[in-house]
């Protein structure tokens, strides 16, 4: 009898960078000139910020963009999405360090990871 090989669902939820597909570390506190934010950096140069509630994306976006620009606020404010940088948004469960494909999942226990990467890098 012919059996269809099942897709490994765990691969879909592995914490992988949306730009290079490398595994990324758990978000952690990153010290900045104005304080800190929760996020990280991938080896490919992408920077990510974490919003545990999914309701504070504006602040997380600005902190992540400034970190992407090496702390240069002026440069960050002159950037244009699609021209200067690319953006990817992922649902993330910090308890399990797994991505949540589509929807909110896990009874609202997920947050948002915002990945930014300079174009041409």
HEC profile of 56-75: CHHHHHHHHHHHHCCCCHHH
Kindly state the tokens that stand for 32.
């900045």
pLDDT digits (tens, 9 = 90+) for 18-73: 999 999 999 999 988 878 899 999 999 999 999 998 888 999 999 999 999 999 99
Could you give the residue ranges of the DSSP H alpha helices within 1-121? Answer: 9-13, 57-68, 73-77
What is the average per-residue pLDDT within 89-95? 93
Of 96, 111, 102, 18, residue with least CA distance to 60: 111
Tokens of 23: 């595994």
- Cα separation, 40 vs 16, in Å, equals 12
pTM of the predicted model, to two decimals? 0.83
Angle, CA of 106, 101 and 31, to the nearest 5°: 80
d(CA 98, CA 3) in angstroms, rounded, equals 29
Mean pLDDT for 5-13 is 56
3-state secondary structure of 9: helix
Element (H, E) at 30: strand 28-32
């Amino acid at each position: 009898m012919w059996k269809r090989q099942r897709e490994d669902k765990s691969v879909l939820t592995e914490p992988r960078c949306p730009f290079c597909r490398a595994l990324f570390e758990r978000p952690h506190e990153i010290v900045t000139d104005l304080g800190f934010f929760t996020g990280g950096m991938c080896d490919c140069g992408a920077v990510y910020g974490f919003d545990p509630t999914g309701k504070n994306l504006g602040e997380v976006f600005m902190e992540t963009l400034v970190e992407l620009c090496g702390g240069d606020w002026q440069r960050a404010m002159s950037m244009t999405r699609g021209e200067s940088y690319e953006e990817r948004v992922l649902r993330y469960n910090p308890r399990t360090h797994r991505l949540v494909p589509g929807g909110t999942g896990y009874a609202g226990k997920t947050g948002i990871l915002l990945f930014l990467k300079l174009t041409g890098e």
